[in-house]
Amino acid sequence: MILFALCLTVILAFGALVIDLGVLRNNRQILVNAVDAGVLAAGTKLPVTGSAAAAALEQLVQKTLDANYPGGLGKGTDYTIAYQCVIGVAGGVAAVWRDVPTVCNPPNGVGQNPVPTTAFSGAGPSRYAPCAPGLGDTCNAILISASTQTRFALGPVVGVNSGSSGSVQSAACSGACGIPPNSPDDVVLIMDRTGSMSPAAIVAIQKGAYAVLSVFDPKYQRLALGTIGPSRATEASCPNTGSPWYAGTVGAANANVLGVGVTPAGYPASYDTTTDQQPWIPVGFSGTDTAPFVSLDQPEARGHREAYSTGGAVSTSSALYKAISCLVTYTNGTNLSTPMVMATNYLSAYGRGSAAPKVIIFETDGTPAGAGRTCQAAYNAAKTAKDAGYEVFTLGYGGVSTQKCPDAASTSPSMATAADLLRNMASTDTPDVKHFYLTPDETTVVTSFSAIAHAITMGKGHLVTLYPQPYITSVSPAAGPFTGGTSVTVTGKSFLGVTKVTVGGVNAAFAVNSDTSLTVVAPGGNIGSAADIIASSPGGSSPIVPADVFTYQ
């Protein structure tokens, strides 16, 4: 009986080890999945500003966690929430303001305004700073940290009642979050230059267009410029005379009619129905992708192989920037249907086919005005684009909520105001992407344009790694004396934030030079032994690879 009792204790101990630890491991994976689901649900509501918005977001998180973890999770006991402002970096150590302040704005979160780039932590392609929506910050990322206890079934026999899952973390972000957009898009940006657009309004939408250029990456986003009413890309009065874009005329009779930088003397009615795209798309697709642009004998396209921005900095020498900077008010009635038709035709004729989604950004400050121009025609033109699979974003500037449709009584669907028209012209909203923006004044225009650009490049909430795992690709020199003291340059990625470096399992002195380089001093070792160099950070330890070996001689 004594031997049986002793053996039973051992059997139960092994049972606890196998069964209880198996249950603990399974519960940890369920917790990981639940936390991932929680942050992804929150990502549909990001960016977030203000206590009320944060409270609504956290209710959604709680509901999602409860639905995905048996028994639910308690905030403050099982999990905590932290907000972040995530931005991108051009390389090396320094952070850049690619997404700040239009995507996130963390000065209150870190107590400094403006926030210095040194306030950002992280590694790899992005950096993050603490953010506090309750203090008025705009935060584009959320971090959930969780840990739970699993009650053991057999463990109490040996005095172990429960086990911890360990800390589980997951972060999600909405927008580009510092990571350059890497999916292709063909985009036409249509800007209103009709008589109701005041000089201040023109300046505002110019700044908004520059924000689009700064968010887009010319390697992936091809961007064309359209106008309401029609335009030509160069004029003698434009301050950017001599710029490299198309300088020809649409026709001798109309040579003095079209212009980005001058108010035309007249406006031929034929341009309401013409199939000639030149006056409506004054600057064609621009970008640096390797796909060939159309030949010069197709002036309708007028593409430009150019970097309209680099690392978020707009190129003032680009054709797009110069054309946008030349935009002035055009004193004529508002035609909203023809520019939408022309943008659709242009995307169909000169886009990259199924290789790139087709997008139209459409900005105006009012309803159609002038003989034969109707809200129904504008709606129908947008519907044609959407039926073709194109995504349509609309931006209503100024008093669009009070501007009345001239044919409101006969429109279908019902459209009483310009705001109603633009809302119906836009693509249907999704939980991740908003398609209609109302910007009543100059202060909201840039933010709206930037939000649209981010929605195009990476609009959905997605998981992000704040501290990616370090990785070593080479060491130089790869060998040194067994007595130690060799200074070894280690090359790889995600080295910022490294807290420990070991050589053959022995802690070694080191210095981080950049995100891709660090220097370590090899300690002593055994002659002929091969020692792995391992770098550790909050993101984990670099995996053992053949490239990390240092050999003692």
Q: How far from 351 is each of 182, 425, 427, 548, CA to CA, in Å? A: 17, 21, 19, 46
What's the average model confidence in pLDDT over 361-367?
Answer: 93
Cα 29 from Cα 27, distance rounded (Å) = 5
- What distance in Å separates the CA atoms of residue 350 and residue 356, rounded to the nearest whole number? 11
Buried b / exposed e along 24-37 (16+ C-beta atoms within 10 A): beebbeebeebbbb
Helix count (H) and strand count (E) of the chain?
10, 28
pLDDT higher than 50, residue 236 = no
Q: Residue 265 — pLDDT band, cuts 50, 70, 90? A: very low
pLDDT at 180: 56
> Scanning the structure block, which residue is given the tokens 């003692």?
552
Q: What is the DSSP string of 146-165?
A: E--EEE-SSGGGGT--EEE-
| Residue 152 vs residue 170, higher pLDDT | 170
Contact between 131 and 47 under an 8 Å Cβ cutoff? The reply is no
Q: What is the pLDDT of residues 321-330, one digit of tens each?
A: 888 887 877 6
Average pLDDT over residues 6-14: 67
Stretch 509-538: mean pLDDT: 92
Q: What is the pLDDT of residue 13?
A: 65
Is pLDDT at 235 greater than 50 in this prediction?
no
Any idea where the domains of the chain sit in the sequence?
2-174, 185-427, 471-552
> CA-to-CA distance for 79 and 75, rounded, in angstroms?
5
Across 83-92, 299-308, 523-532, the highest mean pLDDT is recorded for: 523-532
pLDDT of residue 258: 40
Question: For residue 366, what pLDDT is reported?
Answer: 86
Higher pLDDT residue, 235 or 116?
Answer: 116
Tell me the average pLDDT across 479-503. 92
Give which of 455, 449, 439 is closest to 209, Cα–Cα: 449
Is residue 396 pLDDT above 80, yes or no?
Answer: yes
* Domain range 185-427, CATH architecture: 3-Layer(aba) Sandwich (3.40)
Query: Could you read off the pLDDT of 177-224 as tens digits, one per residue?
Result: 766 556 688 999 999 988 888 888 888 999 999 999 988 889 889 999
- Measured between alpha carbons, how far is residue 345 from residues 300, 307, 311, 350, 356 in Å? 11, 25, 31, 9, 15
CB count, 10 Å around CB of 368? 23
Query: What is the C-alpha separation between 206 and 232, in angstroms, rounded?
Result: 17
CATH of domain 471-552: 2.60.40.10
State which H helix or E strand residue 81 sits in. Answer: strand 79-88
Counted residue by residue, the chain has a size of 553
Core vs surface per residue 189-228: b (16+ CB within 10 A) or e: bbbbbbebbeeebbebbbebbbbbbbbbbbebbbbbbbbb
The yes-or-no verdict on residue 520 having pLDDT over 80 is yes
What integer best gives the mean pLDDT of the chain? 81
**From CA 392, how far away is CA 386, in angstroms rounded?**
7
Say yes or no to pLDDT of 104 above 60: yes
Is residue 170 pLDDT above 70, yes or no?
yes
Token pair 């130089």 in the structure block, residue = 476
